[in-house]
A and B are shown apart, each in its own frame.
Chain A
Amino acid sequence: MPPKIRIIAVAFSFLLVIYVFDLVRRRHLNEEYSVGWLVAGVSIFILSIWQELLDYMTSMIGAVLFTSTLLFFGLFFIILICLHFSIRISALTRQINRMTQRQALLTNDLYRKLREMKKA
């Protein structure tokens, strides 16, 4: 890996890890969701400094250039994290729908009782 790319990758991984830590510290990101990003940051760092591992992985996936390996794993990570968020959004949508239904039924019950009280 050319030194220029290595320096950029190491700097990027450091910035990513520090930024994720800071987001968790300021409670802008839950610990649960920070794990994936921290793993990604650490993985970029390890692949940037460990040339033999990068070469081994490049040959393992049948790629010629190390850039293809980085692109492959980057894409793999993005797909996984998108799928994870789709699952979470589906669960949240279900929960919001249930809450909206319950809230509407409770409000209806309350108004009905108030109307009955007014009549009595």
Chain B
Amino acid sequence: MNDRILVIIPSFNVAKTIASVIEGVKSELPDADIVVINDGSSDDTAEIALREGADVVSLYHNIGYGAALQTGYLYARLNGYDIVVQMDGDGQHDPSSLKTLLRPIFSGDADVVVGSRFLGETGYKPSFSRRIGMGLFGLTASLVIRQKVTDPTSGFQAMRRPVVELFCTDVFPVDYPDADVLILLHFAKFRIREVPVKMYMPEKGKSMHRGHKNIYYIFKMFLSIAVTLLRQKPAGGRLCPRK
């Protein structure tokens, strides 16, 4: 396999966990390159990531999870990577699932693979309100894309270059990409697959996803899904015909 793989790790104040995450990625995917997007951390995240052998892109100030992720996509496009994997730097995503995540990409069965914490064994126990939110948006996304979505909030994903190209444009929601991105991908005629992955509960207050309040999240997501449905469909970058 000659595809160049890049693992994007958007990180904000994860000095405690970033070394073990990079180590895990290296042992699972020794040929992949790793870039840590340091989203204005005030701790030693960038220094530790560099010491562990990852490349580091340091943002001057905190611009949020989605925008940090998009910086990773821009980096991938700039450096000509064929496949991109994204995972969090807080240790929530288990690197042992990386090969499972990449399998449908290698076999050509999917353009985007979303790791679902609810398809297999999981150490993740979401709160009641979060479970309701996930269920609601999972159901909405499932109805729109006519495909079962069990984990619409998962940030553990793998994708091919045309998807990265799409995410580099203004259509990507830079504040908090979520179920609306799955709908966007469906409209762009990309094939989406979910695979079971291992996820853990992030350390309290450490996750990049914790910046938003639950009520705002629910409001934002409904609004974002509604406008995604109303907007002009993005130009397709489909790699294989969708059945």
Contact = CB atoms under 8 A, between A and B. Distances in A.
B56 A101 contact: no
B59 interface: yes
A104 B58 contact: yes
Contacts of B75: 105, 108
Given A97-B67, A108-B75, A103 B55 contact: no
A112 B79 CA distance: 12
Describe B's contact surface by its main secondary structure.
mixed
B92 interface: no
Interface residues of B, number: 17
A95 to B, nearest CB: 11
Interface of B: 37, 55-61, 63, 67, 70-71, 74-75, 78, 170, 174
A107 interface: yes
Contacts of B60: 100, 103-104
A100 B55 contact: no
Q: Which 7 A-B pairs have the closest CB atoms?
A: A108-B57, A101-B71, A104-B59, A97-B67, A104-B57, A97-B63, A100-B59
Nearest to B58: A104
Given A100-B59, A104-B58, A108-B55, 9 more contacts: A94-B170, A94-B174, A97-B63, A97-B174, A104-B57, A104-B60, A105-B57, A105-B71, A109-B78
